[in-house]
Amino acid sequence: MSPRDILAAVSVAVVWGLTFIAIKVGVGETSPLMLSALRFIFAAFPFVFFIAPPKAPAWKTAAYGLLLGVGQFGFLFIAIHKGFPVGLASLVVQAQAFFTVALAWLFLSERPRRTQVVGGLVAFAGLAVIGSARLAGATLWPFLLVVLASFFWGSANVLAKTAGKVDMLAFTVWSSLAAPLPLLVLSLAVDGPGPLLGLAHPSWRLIVSVLVVAYAGTVFGFGLWARLLMHYSAATVAPFALLVPVVGMVAASVVFGEPAPLIELFGAILVMAGLALNVFGDWMLRRREAVLR
């Protein structure tokens, strides 16, 4: 990857890590399904009036929006609403990196390189270290919902790679149109009319939360992320998201007082080491071979 694209991938991970703070605030102001619907309504509008539709099959554009909106964020927001720690959620959802690589290998024949496999295993070990400490205080069902959310995210990543060389900002904006209606219907079915009626007088906290998750998390984050996936293999791009829980846990500790013991810091170091192997592993091997010669 070029230095510019490495910086872009890191910036997306940092933004996504910080959006978990906005998510936690948002699910305290409205239902999780309504928050997800609002996220994608504002990710689509007003941009659809100024950006032409992407030159991708309509079903792929819609399916991408459904995988992210209903699948990833619907389940993720429900888990956080049920009390799953936001720092831990930012960690567990990064199982998407492994789902993305596995699905791309299975369906797109993108075989990961040896250094990427090793880097992924090291990062996974870091996730396991952090998760082993955090799961002691978490219930099973919210945890499984976050894992399911990560699967839908990985599926969306692979689908985005099959969209072809299209304008990924347009792809992100127009795909966002597919999510609000089913999310609104689900919200009415699960939560009743209360969350919808509450939008007549939204709190400033809800407004800020929606703006952050819609414009920073979705339009900027997923628009840039999809562009990177279009230019690089899934095994190259996906591990950058492993930085998200590092940012998310630090932010959750500062804002919400969620604990960050030494064992979690050790796990975060392993995650960073795995990412370094994924990005710089081949270069380090070439340098080592050059020195040995």
Dump pLDDT digits (tens) for 250-260. Answer: 888 888 887 76
Burial 150-183, CB ≥16 within 10 A → b, else e: bbbbbbbbbbbbebeebbbbbbbbbbbbbbbebb
pTM over 0.85: no
Average pLDDT over residues 139-150: 85
**For residues 120 and 238, what is the distance between their CA atoms, to the nearest angstrom?**
10
Percent of the chain at pLDDT > 90 equals 46
Average pLDDT over residues 128-135: 73
Nearest to 273 by CA among 235, 228, 239: 239
Lowest mean pLDDT among 34-38, 54-58, 235-239: 235-239
Contact 235, 115 (CB under 8 A): no
Burial class (CB in 10 A: 0-12, 13-18, 19+), 113: middle
Average pLDDT, the chain: 87
pLDDT at 189: 93
Residue partners of 72: CB distance under 8 A and separation at least 6: 93, 149, 150, 152, 153, 156
The residue ranges of every structural domain in the chain are 3-292
What are 165-191's pLDDT values in tens digits? 888 889 999 999 999 999 999 999 999
pLDDT at 287: 75
pLDDT at 28: 92
